[in-house]
Structure formats: C-alpha cells, structure tokens
C-alpha cells in the first residue's frame, strides 16, 4: 500500500505558522543569525497580530471593534476621526518615508481614548500602538503615550509620558510591564530611560541586532526614535505638539534671548540646526531653530544633536506665578516661559 501523500496534501503539511506570517504580513528574512522562533510562538504572533490589525484605528469602520461592539460615543466619532487622520495618516505618512522602500515600518495604531473639559476642549488623550519587526522575528513593541493638559485663570497643568513594553511571543504569558521612556510633568522632565543603551536594546529586540549593516537595511537611530515616538502620537516635525494642538511642554526658543542668539550667530550655527546647513550672515535676520525638550532628548539619545540643539537649555525652575501663556509677540511658536494652548 502506497504511503505517498497527494501533492496538495503534502504542500498543505509543509505550511508552517512562520511561513503563514511571512506571507500574510510581508516579512523579510532576518539579517544575520537570529533564532527562527518556535511554531507556538508564530501561532501566537499570527493570532495576536490578526486580531489587532482587525481593530486597526486607520480602518474606515472606526466606530466598532472586531466583535461589532461600539467603541466610541457618536459625539466623539468625528473628533477621533480627525485626530486619527492627523496622527496615523498625515503625520506618519511623512515619517514612514524615513524607512527604505524595501523595508517598511510595520505598526498598528489602536483607537485613542480622548477626554474633554466642560468647554468641549481636549483635556486628555491616551495613544496605543504596536510596532512589529519587518523581519521574520516573533517580537513586537507595545506602545502607550498619555497626555493631560488643563488651564485656569491662575494655574496650568501639563503632563505627558511615553511607555513601551517588549512582547516576545515565545512567552505564552506576556508577563512584561510597561517601561517609561520619558515624561514631562509641569516642567519636571525625566529622560533617564531614553538613552543610547535603550535605543540599542529596542533595535536589537525588533531587528535581531544593532550592527552597522542592520542600520543600513533599516534606518538610523534618530529615524528609529522619530518613528517610534510618531507611532505613539507625536508626529509633529518639531516635536512640540500632538494632534489637536496638544502642547507637549517646554520648548527652548533661542531667538528670544539676545545673548544666546548672538552666541549661536558667532558660532555660525545654521539656523535649521543642520551641520551641513548654510551659516548665518546677518544677525537681524537670524532665527535659530527652537528645540523642544522631547526633540532634544531624542537627538541626544541618538547621538545626533545639531549645532543649535547641542546648546539646548532646560526650563527655568518653577516659581509661584500666574499661569504661563503664549507670547503673541512670538508668532513663530512658544514663548520661552510658557505653553501654547
């Protein structure tokens, strides 16, 4: 009796969860020597990613999850849709171009949770997303970013933070915890976890390594962080605001201080903060690029500070004073002592 299987049955038997994932999600073979991952890991990866992508907040049917349950109040739907366009469509479209054509940025945004004050103004926003390796590695980075802002006649409150969680699908129980990358809490800035070591750790987890060759195949450390923070809702080119004008906190404006401006001019620091930029020639027409606390932290962690940003100054010590506000005389951005709301 012949034991040979029909060709179609043999082909079906050869299909693995790993090959299914490579085919469905367009994954590339990993560079270098990276464990292929167990079938159980790839099965968990497949089922998890399929479910998450069914709830991708960029999908047209935004008001319902994969089970058909309503996930937004009708009055919030338009606001959420507008925010999603600003973040996940328009904002990330620019950042995704930082990756090579043959190695896309794989990410899935979840629907953000928004809160409103009595005047129907945005008061809080929670962003969620997953980033997946472009390579056949059963790993993901789970992201969470929160923002809260409130202004009164005699006070202002602004808190924002960024977190990540490493998800290894070899572990049947996720078990991991969120790690805070950085935060801004009413002028108290914490960035100790956003450093070169953290960048190397995240890159190695997602790409299987952190070598020069892998960086050439993917992106620089700076672009990696811009994409990572963009996937958490912060896609602004200057890293000063989230969608709907949600200010992220302190921004250093060197042109507001004559001494600082003159110092940078004498150093011939190009006003776009690009080392290869054009040096200034006229002090009166010199407006060196401002730098938010978040942009500075990202550039520093990526070892990519420019001729202006390397002179960044943190916010002054907080004093008991009336609410800080936007300086109308500085139409280009934030005053040196306040926020734009």
Which of 24-38, 96-110, 125-139, 322-336 shows the lowest per-residue confidence on average (mean pLDDT)?
322-336
Say whether 182 sits in a helix, a strand or coil.
strand
Q: Are 130 and 124 in contact (CB under 8 A)?
A: no
* pLDDT at 62 > cutoff 50: no
Query: Distance (Å, rounded) from C-alpha 139 to C-alpha 133?
Result: 7
Query: Distance (Å, rounded) from C-alpha 257 to C-alpha 263?
Result: 10
Say whether 295 sits in a helix, a strand or coil.
helix
What percentage of residues in the chain have a pLDDT greater than 70?
82
The pLDDT value given to residue 154: 59
Residue 80 pLDDT level (bands cut at 50, 70, 90): confident
The pLDDT value given to residue 77: 79
Residue 121 pLDDT level (bands cut at 50, 70, 90): confident
* pLDDT at 340 > cutoff 50: no
The pLDDT value given to residue 99: 96
- Give the pLDDT mean for 319-336: 38
Q: pTM of the entire structure?
A: 0.86
* pLDDT at 72 > cutoff 70: no
* pLDDT at 135 > cutoff 50: yes
Encoded tokens for 301: 């962690």
Residue 7 pLDDT level (bands cut at 50, 70, 90): low
* pLDDT at 321 > cutoff 60: no
Query: H or E element: which one contains 126?
Result: strand 122-132
Residue 320 pLDDT level (bands cut at 50, 70, 90): very low
Query: Distance (Å, rounded) from C-alpha 288 to C-alpha 332?
Result: 11
Query: Distance (Å, rounded) from C-alpha 170 to C-alpha 70?
Result: 33
Give residue-wise pLDDT tens across range 144-162. Answer: 999 999 876 655 899 999 9
Comparing 280 with 340, the larger pLDDT belongs to 280
Query: Distance (Å, rounded) from C-alpha 96 to C-alpha 94?
Result: 6
Query: Distance (Å, rounded) from C-alpha 57 to C-alpha 60?
Result: 8
* pLDDT at 116 > cutoff 70: yes
Query: Distance (Å, rounded) from C-alpha 175 to C-alpha 83?
Result: 31
* pLDDT at 242 > cutoff 90: yes
Query: Distance (Å, rounded) from C-alpha 206 to C-alpha 219?
Result: 12
Q: Are 248 and 309 in contact (CB under 8 A)?
A: no
* pLDDT at 165 > cutoff 80: yes
The pLDDT value given to residue 317: 76
Residue 60 pLDDT level (bands cut at 50, 70, 90): low
* pLDDT at 3 > cutoff 90: no
- Give the pLDDT mean for 1-26: 72
Say whether 204 sits in a helix, a strand or coil.
helix
The pLDDT value given to residue 337: 39
The pLDDT value given to residue 290: 97
Strand order in the sheet with 156-168: 106-116, 122-132, 139-151, 156-168, 179-185, 188-190
Scan for tokens 């292929």, then name that residue.
36
């Amino acid at each position: 009796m012949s034991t040979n299987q029909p060709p179609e049955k043999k082909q079906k038997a050869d299909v693995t969860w790993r090959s299914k994932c490579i085919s469905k999600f367009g994954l590339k073979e990993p560079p270098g020597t990276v464990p292929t991952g167990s079938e159980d890991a790839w099965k968990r990866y497949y089922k998890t990613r399929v479910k998450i992508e069914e709830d991708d907040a960029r999908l047209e049917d935004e008001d319902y999850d994969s089970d058909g349950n309503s996930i937004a109040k009708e009055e919030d739907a338009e606001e959420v849709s507008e925010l999603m366009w600003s973040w996940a469509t328009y904002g990330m479209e620019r950042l995704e171009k930082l990756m090579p054509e043959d190695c896309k940025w794989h990410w899935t945004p979840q629907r953000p949770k928004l809160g409103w004050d009595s005047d129907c103004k945005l008061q809080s926003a929670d962003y969620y997303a997953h980033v997946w390796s472009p390579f056949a590695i059963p790993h993901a980075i789970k992201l969470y970013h929160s923002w809260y802002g409130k202004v009164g006649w005699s006070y202002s409150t602004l808190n924002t933070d960024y977190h990540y969680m490493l998800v290894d699908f070899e572990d049947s129980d996720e078990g991991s915890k969120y790690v805070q990358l950085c935060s801004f809490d009413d002028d108290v800035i914490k960035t100790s976890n956003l450093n070169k070591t953290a960048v190397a750790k995240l890159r190695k987890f997602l790409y299987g390594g952190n070598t020069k060759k892998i960086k050439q195949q993917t992106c620089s450390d700076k672009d990696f962080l811009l994409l990572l923070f963009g996937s958490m809702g912060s896609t602004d080119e200057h890293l000063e605001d989230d969608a709907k004008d949600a200010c992220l906190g302190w921004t250093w404006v060197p042109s507001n201080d004559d001494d600082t401006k003159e110092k940078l001019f004498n150093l011939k620091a190009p006003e776009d903060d690009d080392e290869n930029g054009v040096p200034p020639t006229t002090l009166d027409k010199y407006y060196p690029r401002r730098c938010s606390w978040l942009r500075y932290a990202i550039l520093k962690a990526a070892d990519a500070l420019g001729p202006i940003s390397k002179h960044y100054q943190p916010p002054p010590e907080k004093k008991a004073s009336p609410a800080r506000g936007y300086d109308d005389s500085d139409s280009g951005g934030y005053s040196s002592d306040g926020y734009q709301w």
